[in-house]
Amino acid sequence: MKTLEKDHYTYRVTWSDEDAEYVGLCAEFPSLSWLASSPEAALKGVRSVVAKVMKDMEAHHEVIPEPLASKHFSGRFVIRVPPEIHRRLAVEAAEARVSLNRLASAKLAH
């Protein structure tokens, strides 16, 4: 059974104005969250919920999400944009004397 000691998931804690509390989130389990009065409690709470859900998924022989930290990323993905944006970016890349790929990568990094 997977436990919190082997928990390599991607967590984030942020403030929720709507709830006036901190909310703990897990990227691999987007439907789960935990509200708490402190960031530390929000993180502890969401990690506990994830552990319980994982245990339930194992018991029902469901596929447990792979942690993003364990996945291999090739650095390549395809994106479709309208032709006018493609043209504008190609012109911008040519004027900057860089490849369209380098230009898009730089823009995505910001």
Q: How many domains, the chain?
A: 2
Let me know: does 47 contact 4? Beta carbons within 8 Å.
Answer: yes
Say how far apart CA 1 and CA 55 lie, in whole Å.
7
Whether 58 and 88 map to the same domain: the answer is: no
User: Looking at residue 7, what is its pLDDT?
Assistant: 86
Label residue 82 exposed, middle or buried (CB < 10 Å: 0-12, 13-18, 19+).
exposed
Whether 25 and 62 map to the same domain: the answer is: yes
Whether 22 and 57 map to the same domain: the answer is: yes
Let me know: does 89 contact 100? Beta carbons within 8 Å.
Answer: yes
User: Looking at residue 3, what is its pLDDT?
Assistant: 53
Boundaries of domain holding 62: 4-69
DSSP state letters, 43-59: HHHHHHHHHHHHHHHHH
Whether 49 and 8 map to the same domain: the answer is: yes
Whether 17 and 50 map to the same domain: the answer is: yes
Whether 94 and 65 map to the same domain: the answer is: no
Residue-wise pLDDT tens digits, 59-82: 999 999 999 999 999 999 999 999
Whether 85 and 51 map to the same domain: the answer is: no
Q: Amino acid letter at 33?
A: S
Whether 38 and 85 map to the same domain: the answer is: no
Residue-wise pLDDT tens digits, 2-33: 455 678 999 999 999 999 999 999 999 999 99
The predicted model scores a pTM of 0.73
User: Looking at residue 1, what is its pLDDT?
Assistant: 44
Whether 47 and 99 map to the same domain: the answer is: no
Strand 33-36: give its sheet, edge to edge.
Answer: 11-16, 21-26, 33-36
